[in-house]
Amino acid sequence: MFGLGAVLGKIAATDMQPLLVAFLDLFVGGILLAIILLVVKVPLWSRLQRKDWINVCLLAIVGTALPLVCIITGLAQTSAIKGGFLLQTQGLVTVVCAIIFLRERMAWRHFGGIICLLLGSLLVIIKNLDISLWEAFNRGDLLIILGAAGLGYGMIPAKKLSGRIHSLPLNVWRLLLGSLILLPFLFILPHTFMFTITPTLLWVLIAYIITNFCIGYITLQEGLRFLKAWESAAMMQTIPIFSTISAMLLLHDTISWLQIVGGVIILVGGFILARASDTGNASLA
């Protein structure tokens, strides 16, 4: 879902103000999840402690709304190749934060798997060895790094809340609180509402909201119930594979041998992580 979202977000940001794209993603996604919440009759209000509500706010603001604005704005100012690779810093930030804040432990085999995932992601994104694409570091690159760092940190409060509240109401709070934070800025920035609605833009926004902010966020939060934060972040390093596939289908991009090699390395890294985690769980049992 998030691999497809990288392509859809890039398309939407070229036709609409990035801040407005982020607001619509969060607000409409939150409303859709709230409707589902009513249908399945899952309570929105949970018996959470004060520290839990603090984590909800951190997840909504620091881990969702602000990073989303940074990333969408950055993607509009830099190349998709550089942006895709810089987004992989999210996993590294999550690993560091998980060790510091959650006291999660990793074996050396885990680090080997993560290195394989990062190397494979780099090859998938680069596609060719055109060094000129990487010579300049601009404002868009910095925004993407900041956004990726925010998303990486957001995995920490999400993990803390995974056993405290159902994934559906948590993501309703996450999306709606995030959109509420962005709302005032829509009327401060100039030319926010100056855009033309086209059939392409409409279906891109709908697909982006449903795949990333409904299906993607729910499945990610459910995964955190069973995985450690760093394990979830490591698995998300496979996003470039799905971004490349989405670009081939939607943008008629082509695939190179370098990308195929990168995909194989990513699969090897995922296999190493899975085997290392299974061994660790067996030893604990």
C-beta separation of 144 from 75 below 8 A: yes
- One DSSP character per residue, 245-268 reads HHHHHHS-----HHHHHHHHHHHH
Q: What is the pLDDT of residue 282?
A: 46
- Convert the pLDDT of each residue in 125-155 to its tens digit: 666 555 555 555 678 888 988 998 999 999 9
Note the maximum CA span of the chain.
59
Distance of CA 210 to the CA centre of its chain: 14
Q: What is the pTM (predicted TM-score) of this model?
A: 0.83
Where are the chain's structural domains? 2-284
- One DSSP character per residue, 129-194 reads --GGGGS---HHHHHHHHHHHHHHHHHHHHHHHTTTS-HHHHHHHHHHHHHHHHHHHHTTSTTTT-
Q: What amino acid is encoded at 187 in this protein?
A: F
Q: What amino acid is encoded at 25 in this protein?
A: D
Distance CA 92, CA 237 (A): 10
Helix, strand or coil, per DSSP, at residue 42: coil
Q: Which residues in the chain land under pLDDT 50? A: 281-285
Q: What is the pLDDT of residue 284?
A: 41
Question: DSSP letter at 117?
Answer: H
C-beta separation of 241 from 266 below 8 A: yes
